[in-house]
């Protein structure tokens, strides 16, 4: 079955960097676009970024544009989120999610999330 | 402030029917982009619930249904059960902002 496992979260000081990973299994990873979605403590879901199946197209939320970079390695079935210049307001659980097919369709599988805490 | 607007909370007694609204604009729901719904049980990751009117993954009962009209969409849950108590989010795409958007979420309480 489809499985997404995030890792790389932790406590980091403002201004520092962190790289999240999302390891996928149970499906042909190279044919699906992938998203990162975050959820601040006690808050709702916020879309962060998307990457196309082959990595050629990437889009970001304004709140992270210029600071975060999404990438993927289809040979390793993994999608990444490089987070630079972290801010306190980036504190959240970060989820990776698979697009069922195409580009605008639903996120049919989600990881369990990894917590990022930005604090001095 | 979310691009898609949901009521913060709704409630209903077991067996009743409740609806959760999701109000957007002409650049998202009104532009014809599908609305997808997710359920998030306490302490867990979101789970895809339904897309459009009745596109449900296996395991999601037909008590859950969707609808859309103009710039709004709704999730209806009939025959409420205690296990339905969760947060519900609508999601779509906004062509003006070129971003994927979520509603602010609605907490469903089963009385």
A95 interaction partners in chain B (CB closer than 8 Å):
45-46
Among A77, A101, A102, A86, which Cα is nearest to A38's?
A: A86
Among A47, A50, A23, A22, which Cα is nearest to A37's?
A: A47
Q: Encode pLDDT of A40-67 as tens digits.
A: 999 999 999 999 999 999 999 999 999 9
A106 interaction partners in chain B (CB closer than 8 Å):
34, 36, 48, 51, 91
Distance from CA of A58 to the nearest CA of B (A): 11
- pLDDT bin (cut points 50, 70, 90) of residue A103 is confident
Range from A88-97, B47-56, B99-108 carrying the lowest mean pLDDT? B47-56
State which residue of chain A sits closest to B90, comparing Cα positions. A45
The β-bridge partners of A1 are none
A44–B99 CB contact, under 8 Å: no
For B46, counting Cβ atoms within 10 Å of its Cβ (0-12 exposed, 13-18 middle, 19+ buried), the class is buried
Cα separation values, A43 from A23, B1, B79, B87, Å: 25, 12, 28, 11
Tell whether A54 lies on the interface with B, counting CB pairs under 8 A: no
Report B:38-97 residues touching A (Cβ under 8 A).
Answer: 38, 40, 45-48, 51, 57, 87, 89, 91, 93, 97
Q: Encode pLDDT of A104-113 as tens digits.
A: 889 999 999 9
B40 interaction partners in chain A (CB closer than 8 Å):
45
The sheet carrying B72-77 orders its strands as B18-23, B72-77, B64-69
- Structure tokens given for A103: 């580009």
A111–B45 CB contact, under 8 Å: yes
Q: Encode pLDDT of A21-41 as tens digits.
A: 999 999 999 999 999 999 999
- pLDDT bin (cut points 50, 70, 90) of residue B52 is confident
DSSP type of residue B103:
B
Tell whether A46 lies on the interface with B, counting CB pairs under 8 A: yes
Nearest to A106 among B48, B103, B105 (CB): B48
């Amino acid at each position: 079955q489809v499985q997404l496992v995030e890792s790389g979260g932790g406590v980091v000081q403002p201004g520092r960097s962190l790289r999240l990973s999302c390891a996928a299994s149970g499906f042909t990873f190279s044919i699906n676009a992938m998203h990162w979605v975050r959820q601040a403590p006690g808050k709702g879901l916020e879309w962060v970024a998307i990457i196309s199946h082959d990595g050629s197209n990437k889009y970001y939320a304004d709140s992270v544009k210029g600071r975060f970079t999404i990438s993927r390695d289809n040979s390793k079935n993994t999608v990444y989120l490089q987070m630079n210049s972290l801010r306190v307001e980036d504190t959240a659980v970060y989820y990776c999610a698979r697009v069922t097919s195409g580009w605008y369709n639903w996120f049919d599988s989600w990881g369990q999330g990894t917590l990022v805490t930005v604090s001095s | 402030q979310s691009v898609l607007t949901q009521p913060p909370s709704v409630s209903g007694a077991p067996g009743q029917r409740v609806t959760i609204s999701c109000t957007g604009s002409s650049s998202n729901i009104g532009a014809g982009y599908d609305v997808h719904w997710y359920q998030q049980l306490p302490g867990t990751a979101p789970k895809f619930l339904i897309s459009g009117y009745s596109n449900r993954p296996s395991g999601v009962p037909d008590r859950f249904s969707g609808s859309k009209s103009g710039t709004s969409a709704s999730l209806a849950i009939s025959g409420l059960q205690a296990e339905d108590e969760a947060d519900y989010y609508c999601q779509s795409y906004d062509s003006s902002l070129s971003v994927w958007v979520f509603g602010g979420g609605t907490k469903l309480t089963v009385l």
